[in-house]
Chains A and B, each alone.
Chain A
Amino acid sequence: MTSEFTSSEMMSVTAARALNNDMTCFVGIGLPSEAANLARLTHAPDITLIYESGTLQTKPDVLPLSIGDGELCSSALTTVSVPEMFRYWLQGGHVSVGFLGTAQIDRYANLNTTLIGDYRDPKVRLPGGGGAPEIATNAKEVFITVKHSKRTFVKDIDFITTVGFGRDGKARDNVPNIGRGPTVVITDLCILRPDPQDKELVVTSLHPGVTREQVIEATGWEIRFADSLESTPPPSEQELTVLRDLKARTAAHHAGQ
Chain B
Amino acid sequence: MAEFLSLQDAVKKHIHDGDTVAMEGFTHLIPFAAGHEIIRQQRRELTLIRMTPDLVYDQMIGAGCASKLIFSWGGNPGVGSLHRLRDAVQQSWPCALELVEHSHAAMANAYEAGAAGLPLAVLRGYIGSDLPKVNDQIKFIECPFTGERLAAIPSIRPDVTVIHAQRADRKGNVLVEGIVGVQKEAVLAAKRSIVTVEEVVDDLGASVNACVIPSWAISAIAVAEKGAAPSYALGYYDRDNAFYKDWDAIGRDRELFQAWLKDNVFENGAA
Q: Could you tell me which A residues sit within 8 Å of B by CB distance?
A: 29-30, 52-55, 64-70, 72-74, 79-83, 85-87, 90-91, 110, 114, 119, 122, 125-134, 137-138, 159-163, 166, 171-172, 175-178, 254-255, 257
Contacts and interface: CB of A to CB of B under 8 A. Distances in A.
Contact of A82 (B51, B85, B131): B51
A59 to B, nearest CB: 16
Cβ-closest 4 pairs across A and B: A68-B27, A163-B128, A127-B75, A66-B77
A65 B243 CA distance: 12
B124 A134 contact: yes
A37 B241 CA distance: 20
Contacts of B181: 53-54, 68, 81-82
B242 A255 contact: yes
A86 B104 contact: yes
Contact of A257 (B78, B127, B185, B239): B239
Given A67-B27, A81-B180, A128 B71 contact: yes
Interface size class of B (residues with CB under 8 A): 35 or more
Contacts of B81: 125-127
A68 B28 contact: yes
Contacts of A66: 27, 77-78, 239, 241, 244
A83 B182 contact: yes
Interface in B49-84: 51-52, 71-75, 77-79, 81-82
Interface stretch (B10-18, B108-116, B199-207): B108-116
B210 to A, nearest CB: 12
Interface of B: 26-28, 51-52, 71-75, 77-79, 81-82, 85-86, 89-90, 101-106, 108-109, 111-112, 123-131, 134, 148, 178-182, 184-185, 211, 232, 234, 238-242, 244-245
Nearest to A135: B105
11 contacts: A53-B26, A55-B179, A65-B78, A65-B244, A66-B241, A74-B234, A79-B178, A82-B182, A86-B105, A129-B103, A137-B124
B78 A30 contact: yes
Contacts of A176: 148
A87 B122 CA distance: 10
